[in-house]
Amino acid sequence: MAFEIPDLLTSKEVAGILGVTAEHLANDRYKARQAGTKPLIPYIRLGERLVRYHPLDIERYLENQRVGA
């Protein structure tokens, strides 16, 4: 059985999906690091400045934001 690696999303792509800026996502990551807490959306750090998001994490985040469901 082959393991299929999903396409990871850039901050810019995620920002477009959520209707926020990439800076907003960067601020969330920074604040979570400073506070020692989890960011609103989990992310993958692939280097000093390279950040990617898994599509399922974006879906989970959006599902958790539903009101009245």
For every one of its 69 residues, what pLDDT tens digit does the chain have, with 9 covering 90 and above?
677 777 999 999 999 999 999 999 999 999 999 999 999 999 999 998 899 999 999 999 999 999 986
pLDDT, position 5: 77
Give the predicted TM-score (pTM) of the model: 0.86
Residues in the chain: 69
61 φ/ψ angles, rounded to the nearest 5 degrees? -60, -50
Domain boundaries, the chain: 11-64
E strands along 8-67, which residues? 44-45, 51-52
